[in-house]
Amino acid sequence: MPLKIPPLVFGNHNAQTDFSVNAVGDRLSKQFAWRVNFDAVGDPHQFCSRSSSAKFADLALIASASTAVAVNVAHAETPMLLVPFAAGKNMSLCDSREPLVWQQHDSAVLMPACARGGQSDTRSVLMIDFQPPRLAATAAAMLGCSVDEAPNFALDQGRTVPLRAGNLDFDIVLRHLCRSLDLYAATPSFLEVSGLDDSFYRAMVTMLRPELFFDTGRVETRSVVNRLDGVCQYIQAHLDQAITLSELERISTLSRRQLQYAFLLRFGGTPMQWVREQRLLCAYARLTTAQPGGTVTAIALSCGFASMGRFAGDYLRRFGELPSDTLVR
């Protein structure tokens, strides 16, 4: 007998049930233009999955519940927000070197449009596949500004997203929206004009940039800004050395979540992404001013890059040319 799995957040009445991990991956790949593989964690004969999906306007939603599973997405054209609705630990990997851990009532996870993967205990998850231009337009409408002035959501950077802002609980908000989706699903033509898609996008804008709407619990106080300045100075002075999140937490005296959130507010990314950006800028400056006999390897090592292959790839994406091309100019 397959293990019991939790209910879906929407679509329980017409959900697809699968006992094959291959069937789940094949169906989602066809429906959502992903290249995705599922692997059962533990006995594959005990695997069980239920899922339901909805596509309307600029939104694609998947409610998925399953026994423990590992997921590998080889290709995705749009970012996705994953929200847990059952107890258990979920871990995801994308551009981050450390796994992103997200749990019910605590945090969701934002996954960029890139190869990504992860592993979950028995779970029930809402996957929100969304369009960045629509997110920016919604934010502009909410803030009363032009789309060009819309805030940066750093959608190319995987990160956890708190499920509470001020007194607002996004677990409750999204459950309410999913109940509405169940009510409207019987009439697809009405679903298209119901405005429910706008409600989902507004919820995501608030989740991804809560500081734009809430003062309570805002992390960027004067004391935190001062501590962040010290962290940045430390990073700049130690680019040639190994830098870890634990070390940055110790220097800042902030918790890991506070530190991550402070960097997101100030720089639009995570601490380690900022470290990588400073190393790349350092390498660019040294390559453009290198003396005769200077080598790419020596300069990369002096800026803290241990892997030459990773350095070359990151440098090419950042500056549009290989470091060797910069050196010979």
What integer pLDDT is reported at residue 216 of this predicted model? 42
What integer pLDDT is reported at residue 33 of this predicted model? 67
For the segment 192-213, what is each residue's pLDDT rounded down to a tens digit? 788 899 999 999 999 999 887 7
The proportion of the chain whose per-residue pLDDT surpasses 90, expressed as a percent, equals 42
133 versus 34: the higher-pLDDT residue is: 133
Q: Residue 179: CB partners within 8 Å, gap ≥ 6?
A: 10
For the segment 6-22, what is each residue's pLDDT rounded down to a tens digit? 999 999 988 999 998 88
The region of weakest confidence among 18-32, 103-117, 232-246 is 18-32
Rounded Cα–Cα distance for residues 280 and 300 (Å): 9
What integer pLDDT is reported at residue 3 of this predicted model? 56
What integer pLDDT is reported at residue 226 of this predicted model? 63
The region of weakest confidence among 38-52, 96-110, 117-131, 307-321 is 96-110
Q: Residue 289: CB partners within 8 Å, gap ≥ 6?
A: none
State the virtual CA torsion across 317, 249, 267, 297 in degrees, nearest 10: -30
What integer pLDDT is reported at residue 223 of this predicted model? 58
What integer pLDDT is reported at residue 23 of this predicted model? 85
**Domains identified in the chain and CATH numbers:** 12-212 (2.60.120.10), 222-328 (1.10.10.60)
Question: Is the Cβ–Cβ distance between 277 and 266 less than 8 Å?
Answer: no
Mean pLDDT of the residues in the chain: 86
Rounded Cα–Cα distance for residues 120 and 127 (Å): 14
100 burial level (CB within 10 Å; 0-12, 13-18, 19+): buried
For the segment 45-103, what is each residue's pLDDT rounded down to a tens digit? 889 999 999 998 899 999 999 999 988 888 788 899 999 998 777 878 775 567 888 89
174 versus 266: the higher-pLDDT residue is: 174
97 burial level (CB within 10 Å; 0-12, 13-18, 19+): exposed
Rounded Cα–Cα distance for residues 322 and 7 (Å): 50
Does 32 have pLDDT greater than 80? no
The proportion of the chain whose per-residue pLDDT surpasses 70, expressed as a percent, equals 94
Mean pLDDT value of segment 260-273: 79
If pLDDT is split at 50, 70 and 90, which confidence band does 220 have? very low
